[in-house]
Structure 1
Amino acid sequence: MTHSTKPQARILVSACLLGRPVRYNGSAKTLAHDLLARWQTEERIVPTCPELEAGFSTPRPPAEIQNAQSGDDVLSGQAHVVEDTGRNVTALYERGARSALATALQHGCRFALLTDGSPSCGSRFIYDGAFAGRRHHGQGVTAALLRQHGIAVFAESEIERLRDLLP
């Protein structure tokens, strides 16, 4: 007699939350949480770093979305992602978002746990584009694209809410 187990829901997770030093400044933003550790043991986690997947190096200049409320504005061509050097890196952020989406779809991820504040992964807030540390409600380019494709996106501060929604 064979018995099968129902596959666990997979979760796309920002690599920096998993302790990988991939952020713009070469650091990690490790999320030390029992749920994340359990999901790793259960092999639910699919890591991603949209910026590295787009071809950025670590470290790299900080970037913010300018003239926008959210990554949706970038995806619709109404806003840009710009480094503090003035370099327009919109196309790379869009490429990274498409790569993260492809990874999520390939692995059947219906959920994502992403780093808030990032111009890619922010899901509750992003910075206002002035490089002055001011933030506002909004989402990054990757978070916006994932949501446009029906993937539920959560910030690291919402991990318990994610747990409550997992099948």
Structure 2
Amino acid sequence: MILISACLAGENVKYSGGNNAVPWLCQWIEKHRDQVLLVCPEVMGGLTVPRLPAEIQRRGTKPEDYRVVNKAGEDVTAQFRLGAEKVLELAKAHHISVAILKGNSPSCGNKEVYDGTFSGILVPGSGVTASLLIANGVMVLSEKTVTPEILEKLVNADF
């Protein structure tokens, strides 16, 4: 089973109320519904749709030295952490070893996230959920790097 960000599958859970549907991935999900678990950590953490955009603000060098704030300056770290913990629980319960998550997201980004200034600047780092999954042995890919061929290999691999 593979964990996939719900917004990539066309579910309207994005902060703006829309989605980040990837057409080929949506088609693949329809054909492999029994092998997919769709999640939105932010919604699972109690945030609404729509909601204000949020970004990670780093406060130190350790991975836990951060907070997540929305564009109004409200601290939403607790909701992001709760959503990440719920996703990890599901991943463990379903023995998931691979996740395809939304790149650059403060929850799901696996290589880069926005810098916390709401200025569109990307910096190296992972989102709250992606970091927790990676720390627990889940391979996290983004829609930017996964292809249909890679996905088929992952589904058929024995992790």
Helix, strand or coil at the partner of 2:78: helix
Question: Which structure has the greater CA radius of gyration?
Answer: 1
Structure 1 112/69 Cα, relative in aligned 2: closer, same or farther at 3 Å?
farther
2:82 to 95, 99, 111: 95
How far apart are the structure 2 equivalents of 1:95 and 1:67? 19
Which aligned runs of 4 or more in structure 1 are off by greater than 3 angstroms? 161-166
Q: How many residues align?
A: 153
How far apart are the structure 1 equivalents of 2:143 and 2:59? 23
Partner of 1:37: 27
User: 1:69, 1:138 within 8 Å by CA — same for their partners in 2?
Assistant: no
**Displacement of 1:27:** 0.7
1:57 to 48, 53, 56: 48
- Paired letter, 1:102: E
Helix, strand or coil at the partner of 1:66: strand
Partner of 2:15: 24
Per-residue CA deviations over 1:75-118 (Å, capped at 9, x if unaligned) read x2x11001111111111110000011111112221100000111
1:151 to 138, 141, 155: 138
Percent identical among aligned pairs is 37
TM-score norm. by structure 2 comes to 0.89
Structure 1 25/12 Cα, relative in aligned 2: closer, same or farther at 3 Å?
same
TM-score norm. by structure 1 comes to 0.85
**Displacement of 1:68:** 5.5
How far apart are the structure 2 equivalents of 1:131 and 1:88? 14
- Paired letter, 2:102: T
User: 1:13, 1:45 within 8 Å by CA — same for their partners in 2?
Assistant: yes
**Displacement of 1:121:** 0.4
In structure 2, runs of 5+ residues without a counterpart are none
**Displacement of 1:153:** 0.3
Partner of 1:112: 99
How far apart are the structure 2 equivalents of 1:56 and 1:120? 12
**Displacement of 1:29:** 0.3
User: 1:101, 1:146 within 8 Å by CA — same for their partners in 2?
Assistant: yes
User: 2:10, 2:26 within 8 Å by CA — same for their partners in 1?
Assistant: no
